[in-house]
């Protein structure tokens, strides 16, 4: 990454985080409170354990800082979801480290795979994180009056960002059984809409999921993959991609290619972080929290 690319990106990243700051009170007390029957949870993403390039020579350290910050929240989240790319190369040793570190979270853990977690095969991912209620990787659950759907859009051999017919059928049947007024939260690694297809930042068959989501009053779609906060709204559906715990990537179209972005060392912790999400009366408030303010 050349320096001029990086400068453009930093300007953009600053804007992205400022947006979140001004809308969610990033610097208020750390707890994500669940009052009046609401629910709060935390999203982390793209930890890339095993990455050791100059953009972040210590991804283990930045994940540990993230875990420490979440464990220090006075009001613990209902759960922590990791939206994928837990590892960099899907090696069993990288998954062992991930299990060991994420196992120290005080809150229950939900882990979805990213494409880096299934290089060659999903076997190592499943060995580490397969759930009894999700033999194929995708599943749904109800908690705190909210219906959660966890999707996997990284299993296709030659297309990144594809759900496949079986999973689409599951989503449509699952949503058909929900009331229109029930708040819906969808979680997946790759963004479900065409965020920037030129770099593969899209889900090829995501439109069918979005069509099934349109009848609901309030939908929140959380993803990772692009290592930066991008928000987007389509009618009742609010999309938000998350920061990485490992390294940032350039804003769409601002570099020759995506990939790790070098920022000055004193900037790194400001563009990495985690996200708390609070849902009350169907309204989601999203607070993105950098590892260093």
Q: Please give the residue ranges that form the binding site for other proteins (CB under 8 A).
A: 1, 50-55, 88-91, 115-116, 119-120, 157-160, 200, 256-260
Phi first, then psi: what are they for 12, rounded to 5°? -70, -45
Tell me whether residue 211 or residue 257 sits nearer to other proteins (CB atom). 257
Nearer to other proteins, 54 or 132 (CB): 54
Q: Which is nearer to other proteins, 52 or 211 (CB)?
A: 52
Q: Minimal distance in Å, beta carbon 288 to other proteins? A: 23
In the bound complex, what is the minimum distance in angstroms from residue 84's beta carbon to other proteins? Answer: 12
Whose Cβ is closer to other proteins: residue 183's or residue 248's?
Answer: 248
Q: How far is the CB of 55 from other proteins (least distance, A)?
A: 6
Q: Which residue, 4 or 68, has its beta carbon nearer to other proteins?
A: 4
Inter-axis angle of helices 165-176 and 206-213, nearest 10: 0
Could you give the angle at the alpha carbon of 204 between the alpha carbons of 198 and 209, nearest 5°? 135
Cα dihedral sign, 20-25-28-33: negative
The residue among 70, 69, 129 whose CA lies nearest residue 98 is: 129
Smallest CA-to-CA distance from 43 within 214, 229, 203, 210 is with 229
* Maximal CA-CA distance, the chain: 51
Q: How far is the CB of 72 from other proteins (least distance, A)?
A: 32
CB of 113 to other proteins, least distance (A): 13
* Residue 88: CB minimum distance to other proteins, A: 6
Closest to other proteins by CB, 38 or 258: 258
Token code pair at residue 16: 């992205």
**Residue 189, beta-bridge partner list:** none
Cα–Cα distance measured from residue 293 to residue 273, given in angstroms and rounded to the nearest whole number: 10
Cα(65)–Cα(245) distance, integer angstroms: 9
């Amino acid at each position: 990454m050349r320096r001029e690319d990086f400068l453009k990106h930093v300007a953009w990243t600053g804007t992205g985080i400022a947006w979140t700051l001004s809308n969610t009170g990033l610097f208020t007390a750390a707890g994500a409170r669940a009052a009046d029957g609401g629910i709060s949870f935390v999203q982390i993403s793209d930890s890339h354990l095993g990455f050791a390039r100059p953009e972040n020579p210590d991804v283990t350290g930045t994940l540990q800082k993230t875990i420490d910050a979440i464990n220090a929240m006075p009001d613990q989240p209902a759960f922590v979801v990791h939206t994928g790319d837990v590892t960099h190369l899907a090696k069993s040793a990288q998954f062992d480290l991930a299990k060991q570190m994420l196992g120290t979270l005080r809150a229950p853990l939900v882990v979805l795979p990213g494409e880096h977690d299934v290089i060659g095969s999903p076997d190592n991912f499943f060995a580490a994180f397969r759930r009894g209620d999700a033999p194929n990787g995708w599943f749904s659950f109800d908690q705190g009056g909210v219906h959660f759907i966890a999707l996997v859009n990284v299993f296709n051999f030659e297309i990144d960002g594809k759900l496949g017919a079986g999973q689409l059928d599951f989503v449509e049947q699952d949503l058909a059984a929900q009331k229109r007024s029930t708040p819906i939260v969808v979680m997946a690694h790759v963004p479900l809409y065409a965020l920037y297809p030129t770099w593969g930042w899209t889900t090829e068959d995501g439109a069918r999921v979005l069509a099934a989501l349109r009848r609901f009053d309030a939908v929140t779609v959380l993803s990772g993959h692009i290592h930066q906060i991008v928000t987007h709204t389509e009618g009742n559906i609010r999309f938000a991609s998350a920061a990485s715990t490992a390294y940032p990537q350039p804003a769409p179209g601002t570099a020759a290619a995506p990939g790790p972005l070098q920022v000055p060392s004193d900037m790194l912790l400001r563009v990495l972080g985690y996200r708390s999400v609070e849902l009350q009366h169907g309204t989601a408030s999203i607070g993105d929290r950098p590892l260093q303010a």
